[in-house]
Structure 1
Amino acid sequence: MTISVHPGADDRDWGGRLPRNESLDLDDEQRAARDEIVGRSARWAERSGFAPTDDRGGLIGPFNAFALRPAPGRAFNQWVQTDQRGSSLARTIREVVILTVGVAWQADYEIYAHVAVARTVGLSETVIAGLREGSTEGSTDGWAPDELAAHRFTDELVRNHRVAPATYAAAEEAFGRDGVLDMVHLVGMYLATSALLNAFEIPAPEIPAPPIPD
């Protein structure tokens, strides 16, 4: 399955401030990194419902950057894969954390990608919409208690750089010590991703509308 980016986009836009790796004479390490990303990370992205390439097959999002600097890109992807394999957090909770970080940083590609992942793993459209709005100060109808605990913990940590005692206690009650540790690692992972995307002004495709219920 190939997921199309929005039609009519200029290929040169997708790198942001970075050159596209297809436009460069890559060295052996960069070519190997690109092939590894296409063979693993890009396939995961497609399965998760978002486009890792443009319509000509060129890498977009953070994947282009990872190919340009293979050593840190490979190390980062190993960190992500370790988390995906071993996290104590449910997949829906992981997406609550990731989207909370992406929205706080207004990292367009991260939000685009992880709205798709959130839908794939079954996070409700009510929660996805609330996360995209960036606030739970209004109604939290439709949120499970653990979703709300994960969002509030992450949002406080990212925006305030601290977590209030009551917020921490709610997170520890919901996820245990290991779960809180896993949340903090996940926050760090996607703060790094958001910094990469925003520093280089990397654009994103449009987020599809929610699927129509049967």
Structure 2
Amino acid sequence: MKKISILAASLLVMQVAGVQAQVEPGPALDAQAHTADMYMTPSFRMAQPRVSPMTEAELGESTLRLMDHARVEGTIANIFTTLAHHPELVQRWVPFAEQLLLGSTLPARDREIIVLRMGWLSQSEYEFAHHVAIGKQVGLSDADIHRIVSGADATNLPPFDAALIRAVDELNDDSFISDQTWKVLSGKYNTQQMIDLVFLAGHYKLVSMTLNSLGVQLEDSYKEFLRKP
């Protein structure tokens, strides 16, 4: 299993190692977006980036220092070298993202269920593949990934996992968690955790929209994490 430093994870959105499963597609997509053995086909939205990643030689000193540990097999991850075109934004975004990823009051497994469901609903191959990797490191199984993709009514889905998935669906569709779902989640989570849940889902919707719209390309070493087991 591929390793990555904790700082790379704190530097945000994703860097770790792997999983997959069989799935019933959620959102309607082009026929080529999914295949029998893939959750999503790499680059099914765009084969080339709209905003090309900067080279390390082009990065300013402070930006390079910020991103130096966010590497995938020696190279700074594409999300960071793409967003480096806006260094002022990146400098302020990283601490916020770090708080949500490493400073969250949510259990790590629950956190990754939320992120993966939002990545799936957003059809962000980059987001999904990186967090399949992270999810596996914090205890998600192939079967868990399958259920996250299949949705809140998936067979053998634990009730609390179903509530987490349903909350993400409701936030994505209506920007609102229903009373019924809130009651289930708040029966286990305290107030801080409920706030973290909403911020986490919203943040990864933002990240997914950014990745999709800028055409950030998934690194070759992560494409295997789009494959079903």
Settle same-fold status: TM greater than 0.5.
yes
Q: Say whether the 8 Å CA contact 2:56–2:64 is kept in structure 1.
A: no
CA contact (8 A) 2:147 2:154 kept: no
Structure 1: segments with no counterpart, 5+ residues = 4-8, 43-51
Residue 138 of structure 1: CA displacement? 3.6
**2:203 aligned with 1:189:** yes
Using the aligned pairs only, state the percent identity: 22
Pick closer, same or farther for the CA change 1:84–1:19 going to 2, 3 Å.
closer
Determine which of 87, 91, 94 is the counterpart of 2:111: 94
8 A Cα contact 2:53 2:78, kept in partner: no
Q: Cα RMSD over matched residues?
A: 2.8
The question of 1:136 aligning with 2:152 is answered yes
| Cα distance in 2, alignment partners of residues 59 and 15 from structure 1 | 18
Sort the Cα spacing of 1:210 and 1:99 in 2 relative to 1 into closer, same or farther, 3 A. same
Secondary structure at 1:137 match in 2: coil
**Corresponding position of 1:121:** 138
Amino acid at match of 2:180: A
- How many residues in Structure 1 have an aligned counterpart in Structure 2? 185
Instruction: Give the Cα–Cα distance (whole angstroms) in 2 for the partners of residues 183 and 190 of structure 1.
Output: 11
Within 5 Å, which residues of 2 pair with 1:55-134?
57-133=74-150
Structure 2's unaligned 5+ residue stretches are: 5-15, 17-41
CA distance in 2, matches of 1:161, 1:188: 9
Secondary structure (helix, strand or coil) at the match of 1:206 reads helix
The verdict on how the C-alpha distance between 1:105 and 1:197 changes in structure 2, with shifts beyond 3 A counting, is same
Give the 3 Å change call, closer, same or farther, for CA 82–138 of structure 1 in structure 2: closer
1:145/1:174 Cα in 2 relative to 1: closer, same or farther (>3 Å)? farther
Deviation string 1:145-175 (CA, Å, 9 cap, x unpaired) is 3322211111111123222210111111121
The residue that corresponds to 1:35 in the other structure is: 65
Contact residue 15 and residue 60 of structure 1 kept, 8 A:
no
Note if 1:21 corresponds to 2:38: no
Partner of 2:27: none
Residue pairs, 1:39-54, within 5 angstroms: 39=69, 41-42=70-71, 52=72
Q: Which has the higher helix share?
A: 1
Change (3 A) 1:37 1:138: same
Mapped to 2, the partners of 1:70 and 1:15 lie a distance apart of 22
- Cα distance in 1, alignment partners of residues 176 and 163 from structure 2: 15
> Does 57-66 or 169-178 show the bigger shift?
57-66
Amino acid of the residue matched to residue 35 of structure 1? Answer: R
Residue by residue over 1:115-144, the C-alpha shift from the partner in whole angstroms, topping out at 9 and shown as x without a partner, is 0000011112211112234x23241x1x33
Q: Is the 8 A contact 1:22 1:58 kept in 2?
A: no
Q: Which of the pair has the greater relative contact order for Cα pairs under 8 Å at 6+ separation? A: 2
**TM-score normalized by the length of structure 2:** 0.70
Check the 8 A contact 1:92/1:118 in 2, yes or no.
Answer: yes
Q: Which amino acid aligns with 2:153?
A: E
